[in-house]
Amino acid sequence: MTGPVLVTGGSGFIGSNLADSLLADGHEVIVLDNLSRPGVEQNLDWLRARHGARIHPLRADLRDRAALREAARDASAVIHLAAQTAVTTSMADPIDDFEVNARGTIDLLEAVRATGRRVPVLFASTNKVYGCLEAMEMAEAADRHLPADEPLRAHGVPEGQPLDFRTPYGCSKGVADQYVLDYAKSYGLPTAVLRMSCIYGPRQFGTEDQGWVAHFLIRALQGEPITLYGDGKQVRDILHVSDAVAAYRSVLANIDRLSGRAFNLGGGPRNAVSLLAVLREIERLVGRPLSVSHGDWRPGDQHWFVADARRLSAETGWQATIPWREGLADLAAWLRAHRVRPVPERIRA
């Protein structure tokens, strides 16, 4: 790659880690971000401090077509991470969710197409494109839901699982997912889609609506109560952000061969954990019991999702390398150093 890499959402959690990896290898990076999420300006300051003039920040929104054309003009590749990321927000304002996620993505694709060059585009999709997986027969263990089908339990949900967009967020990301793949077919752009499970790690400013692993840790480290929506037996295959960055870079390095294809990206069966199991490990890390309450299930929530990432591994050699307990400890250490106020000691009478 001879020109800069454009990373939309490059000040966000995954984006800043990915930008840092590219910059560390000598690439110039255009970071397009509207800085709307609290805390992400700290990620941008961190990138500037580490990499100086090789980072080119562009404060702009995905709905700004002129800014997209400017950002794409000299880009050698595009990694599209910017999005409205919360199901709850999409339920409250589905039109805004559509404008950012669906319309913003096609506007970005058009900005890339207007360059007249075969610029690679990688898109951050989501496991929510597979819907609630309601047809999956489930069993229940002491602390988790599990599929009754043994091969599914052993390997996870494959890319061949029928798409079933659910909730406005699932619909907007699913529409974008399909447009990105179609631009490879219709226009010959080298594009690929990564359908992500739960990514966590340093530089994540998790909230109750998005980024639940970091949110749980932040609340626990600050001695604040945690609300579980549903029974807490939901299972996800959590993936450390350094492994996610490696996956994006491996697909980008092989984009000519992988163009037009979608890949699942997650921690796989070895990193499949229930919310309850994560909370138990967090209690161990903070050294005290947590205050946990329960709320109603959220729309579109999957009882069990584990990504079958064997296609990605077979095509690129990528593997998830960081076990979830080790990764959780890494995030806790980063949060203690950079994000969380210490819990005040109780005043004794």
User: What integer pLDDT is reported at residue 222 of this predicted model?
Assistant: 93
Highest-confidence segment of 201-215, 244-258, 292-306, 333-347? 244-258
> Does 349 score more than 90 pLDDT?
no
| Angle made by CA atoms 238, 327, 161, in degrees to the nearest 5 | 15
Q: How far is CA 172 from CA 91, 116, 179, 305, 344, in A?
A: 12, 27, 11, 20, 43
Which positions are annotated as active-site residues? 169
What mean pLDDT comes out for the span 321-339? Answer: 95
Residue with the bigger pLDDT between 348 and 58: it is: 58
User: What integer pLDDT is reported at residue 2 of this predicted model?
Assistant: 80
pLDDT digits (tens, 9 = 90+) for 13-29: 999 999 999 999 999 99
Topology of the domain comprising 5-338: Rossmann fold (3.40.50)
In the DSSP assignment, the letter for residue 144 is: -
Question: Cα–Cα distance between 142 and 209 in angstroms, integer?
Answer: 26
> Does 346 score more than 90 pLDDT?
no
The per-residue DSSP string of 90-117 comes to HHH-HHHHHIIIIIHHHHHHHHHHTTTS
Question: Cα–Cα distance between 48 and 41 in angstroms, integer?
Answer: 11
pLDDT digits (tens, 9 = 90+) for 60-98: 999 999 999 999 999 999 999 999 988 889 999 999 999
pTM of the model: 0.94
Residue ranges of domains in the chain: 5-338
